[in-house]
């Protein structure tokens, strides 16, 4: 069975501080990992995917198969980063499994 765990329901940092949102997964096959973001009153949208190795809005995430983790990081948080973040595990069977989400608050 596939599972995604986001251990922090709430995370609060000050503007300019580094931020790391944790995500751990369990899956016996070859996983595809994603981060989604939901800003206030906006739709849930894909932020980044591990296969692309991209940096979006200053965020990066590295897949660590040994630790089965896909933590989301940003060196300098901005107030506009305040949002709900979901980690998700996708498979070629089509269904994605989402974590419970982490609400990030960046304080001025």
Partner 1 sequence: ETGVTQTPRHLVMGMTNKKSLKCEQHLGHNAMYWYKQSAKKPLELMFVYNFKEQTENNSVPSRFSPECPNSSHLFLHLHTLQPEDSALYLCASSLFGQGKNGYTFGSGTRLTVV
Calpha distance 49→35 (Å, rounded): 6
Q: Please report, for residues 43, 51, 61, 73, 94, the alpha-carbon distance to residue 20 in angstroms, rounded to integers and kept in the order given.
A: 22, 19, 9, 4, 28
- Minimum distance from CB of 52 to partner 1 (Å)? 9
62 near partner 1, judged by CB under 8 A: no
- Minimum distance from CB of 17 to partner 1 (Å)? 25
11 near partner 1, judged by CB under 8 A: no
Q: Please report, for residues 5, 10, 15, 39, 92, the alpha-carbon distance to residue 97 in angstroms, rounded to integers and kept in the order given.
A: 10, 20, 31, 20, 12
- Minimum distance from CB of 100 to partner 1 (Å)? 5
Which of 25, 34, 59, 70 forms a contact with partner 1 (CB under 8 A)?
Answer: 34
Residue numbers of the site for partner 1 (CB under 8 A)?
A: 32, 34, 36, 42-46, 49, 51, 84, 86, 88, 90-96, 98, 100-101
């Amino acid at each position: 069975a596939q599972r995604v765990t986001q251990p922090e329901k709430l995370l609060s940092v000050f503007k300019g501080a580094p931020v790391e949102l944790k995500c751990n997964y369990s899956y016996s096959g070859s996983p595809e990992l994603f981060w989604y973001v939901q800003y206030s009153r906006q739709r849930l949208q894909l932020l980044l995917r591990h296969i692309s190795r991209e940096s979006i809005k200053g965020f990066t995430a590295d897949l660590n198969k040994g630790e089965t983790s896909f933590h989301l990081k940003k060196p300098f948080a901005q107030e506009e980063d305040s949002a709900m973040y979901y980690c998700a595990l996708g498979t070629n069977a089509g269904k994605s499994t989402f974590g419970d989400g982490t609400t990030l608050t960046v304080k001025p």
